[in-house]
Amino acid sequence: MGKFIIKKTNTGFIFYLKANNTQTVCTSQVYSSLSGCKAGIESLRKNCNADTEDQTLQKLEPLKNPKWEIYADKADEFRFRLKASNGENIIGSQGYTTKTACKNGIASIAKNAPDAEVEREEEEKKEEKKEEPKKEVKKAEPKKETKPAPKAAPKKDEKKEAPKKVTKK
């Protein structure tokens, strides 16, 4: 079973679907509200078993929405998108080097999306922080090097006295 992850962005909310192997299978458009993002997930669940229109074929047979569309991008990689019944894009994919891999991505979504749980990315981070006990780290104070005081040099005016000889009587 996969997992939908909802993530807050600078401009709204997106969701992505992770398969059991933790690979991200698809990413949504940006929704202006959290409720809109959740509605996008429900639309994906509802339409994930739609027919596929292969736009890379010379004889294209257009299908009515909802539908999957397979197309070639500017880098000659295969991508898919899911269009809702109103014609809006629900999700898009990464680029695939083969059409078979692209079709496998669609199959993975059809398999994982219906029962996938929904999580908020921020909530995951908060949960991780709650589980990890905070460790108090004391910083060691740097040791101060103690150098012996330098011996005072004799002043120029002072004469050095020769050691006195002690004589026994």
Domains and CATH numbers, the chain: 3-127 (2.30.29.80)
Burial of 83 (0-12, 13-18, 19+ CB in 10 A): buried
Along the chain (169 residues), what's the average pLDDT of each consecutive run of 10 residues? 93 93 90 96 95 93 94 95 93 94 94 93 55 50 56 55 57
CA–CA gap between residue 117 and residue 119 (Å, rounded): 7
pTM of the model: 0.68
CA–CA gap between residue 95 and residue 77 (Å, rounded): 5
The reported pLDDT for the residue numbered 127 is 47
CA–CA gap between residue 134 and residue 52 (Å, rounded): 51
The reported pLDDT for the residue numbered 124 is 43
Query: 150: how many CB neighbours lie within 10 A of its CB?
Result: 6
The reported pLDDT for the residue numbered 128 is 46
